[in-house]
Structures are given as C-alpha cells and as structure tokens.
Amino acid sequence: MKGQPKVAFIGTGGTISSLGRDPLDILDYTATDRRLDAGGIVAAVPDLARVAEIVPVPFRAVTSPAIGYAEWRDLVLLCERVAGEHPDLAGIVIGHGTATLEETAYALSLTLTVDLPVVLVGSQRPMSALSTDAGLNLVAAVRTAAAPASRGRGVLVVLNDEIQAAREVTKTSVTRLQTFRTPDFGVLGHVDGDSVRYYRRTERAHAPGTPFDIRARAALPRVDIAYAYADADGTAVRAFRAAGAWGLVAAGLAPGMVPPAEADALEEAAGAGLIVVMSTRAGSGIVPLSTRLRERGILTADNLTPQKARILLSLALTVTQDRATVADLFATY
C-alpha cells in the first residue's frame, strides 16, 4: 500500500516458521522438520500487507539450538547489506526460535552496525497450530520496527504484545505464551492494536558504536559457563580450562556464591590469567562485588544472566584481556 513504512523481514527458522503434523500438534512439531523461509512466513500472514511494505530476506531456516556465533556474525553483515540496499527502510524484524532468542538479541545489541530499529520475534506455537501466536506476534514486531519511537532503543524483543530490551529479557516458561519476561525492570512498552507505546528505556549502552566488531572474525574467544550446585567441586572449571577457555562465567548460587571447592577452582583459574565473572542462577538480581570475590580476582556480571554474561565476556576478550577494562565493559553494557 502506498505510503506505508518499509520493513525487512529475516527468517532464521524456529517455531514461528514451523509446520506440525496437524493443528493440534503444539509440542512435537519439530519432528516434521518442516519450516517456512522468510517469504513463506510473510505469505502465511497476508495481513502484514496492511501494516507495512515487507521485504522478505532469505537466510537459513534452522532450530534455535543450532544458532550461535556464526549466525550472529552473518546477521550483522546481512542487516548491514539490507540497510544499504534499502535506504528508505524503517526497520528490520528477525524471526527466531525462542530457545536462544534472548542470546541472539543481546549479541546483536552489542555488535550491529545499522542505526535502525531491529526487532526479534518468535512464537510459542508453530505457524500451523490452532490459535498460533505466530501471526499476531509478527504483526506486532513489524509495527514496532516501523515506529519512529523505536529508534535509538537498541535491539528489541516482541512477543505477546510486549516490547522488551534485548539485554534484560529472558525466557521463563517452556510453553506458556507469556514466557518472555524482564524480571527486574519489566517491559519497555506494549503493542496495543496499531499503537506502539513506550513507558521506559534501558540505560545501558548498545549498538551501533560499540567496540565489538565481529564482521571479519571467524570465532569468538572461548568462554564457558560453570553451573553451581550443592557439592560442586571444580571439575567443570578444570575441564573448561583444559579445553582452552579464555574466560569463565560462574552461574553461582544467589547472591553470587559457589561451594568451597568450586570457589578454589575459580580462584585458581583467575590466578592463571583467565577472566572469571560471577553471575547467578537465580534469574534476576545484581551480583554484588563482595570482598570475597574481589580477593579471589573474580568480576561481577551485574544483573546479566549467565548466558548473556558469557556473550559479553566473549566480546570483551576480543578487545582486551585487562581485568579492570573488562569490568568497565560489564558496567557499561
């Protein structure tokens, strides 16, 4: 329709692209291994044409557990290319599986080079399901990407009519539609019909303009996550060091503690030159830089989840191995 905003749609696969055996197949739909590409998803939601001029952009369609650094880098390059090819683009929407959606969103929020709204969207039910949330989620994401108020807010995540910040949002339920939450701070805004309303913004820095340029980088420095539990004895920490880890994130017990033997292994790793960051498995809350952590040479992840702390530490290690500078990056991003 003439005068509509132009929005690019990149499909990476996931539930939002999936086709199950029948309309009641909402749990085992991946068994069919049938997924729509970007053009097929757009065609399946014809009412998108009433919202914006959609430019489908080919990518590979996979399950979200198969998405990692290589896809993040390629998406950075693809967004850059699409923005260059369409100077009148209002925004970009990326369809994504929900399992790793928050990780891709945060990685892109630190590495994108385009100064456009970029919105990640997924669904909890496949496109073929009775009462699927795929279509309306996609409409809401396109509306958000096209909204002038979305500019300058970093990468956004839109599902269930809620707009969340990439740094803060996390998946909290396996199958519920309201799975994506921001435990500490709440949503940025809502999509109510054709209205995109914001009520707050995230204060942490984001792309473009970060020091993290991954466009020509084959891989990130290896960073692993050691999950804390009763009687954890440092075996995982030692195994990660032997595997060549440059850094470690501890998913500690709240408020940022681990069993004594695990703590000794983390201190040994920090003493050997690895950057060690303490987060928490609790799912929310800030890990304070306690005297004990400081004495052991361990940094704090602030309120980042372990999986997001891993991303930031990996990217930080591409620009510095100085512990104080890494700490500053965690305070900034």
Quote the tokens at residue 250. 């501890």
- Spatial CA neighbour of 248 closest among 317, 295, 320, 302: 317
Cβ atoms of 165 and 156 closer than 8 Å = yes
> How far lies 312's CA from each of 26, 27, 67, 116, 212, in Å?
34, 32, 17, 22, 10
Residue 15 among the catalytic residues: yes
Give the 3-state secondary structure of the chain: CCCCCEEEEEECECHHHECCCCCCCCCCHHHHCCECCHHHHHHHCHHHHHCCEEEEECCCCECHHHCCHHHHHHHHHHHHHHHHHCCCEEEEEEECCCCCHHHHHHHHHHHCCCCCCEEEECCCCCCCCCCCCHHHHHHHHHHHHHCHHHCCCCCEEEECCEEEECCCCEECCCCCCCCEECCCCCCCEEEECCEEEECCCCCCCCCCCCCCCCCCCCCCCCEEEEECCCCCCCHHHHHHHHCCCCEEEEEEECCCECCHHHHHHHHHHHHCCCEEEEEECCCCCCCCCCHHHHHHCCEECCCCCHHHHHHHHHHHCCCCCCHHHHHHHHHHC
Q: Tell me the residue length of the chain.
A: 333
Q: In this structure, is the dihedral angle defined by the CA atoms of residues 87, 93, 96 and 98, taken in order, positive or negative? A: positive
Q: Which of 12, 15, 63, 305 is catalytic?
A: 15
Distance from C-alpha of 50 to C-alpha of 185, rounded to nearest angstrom:
33
**Catalytic residue annotation:** 15
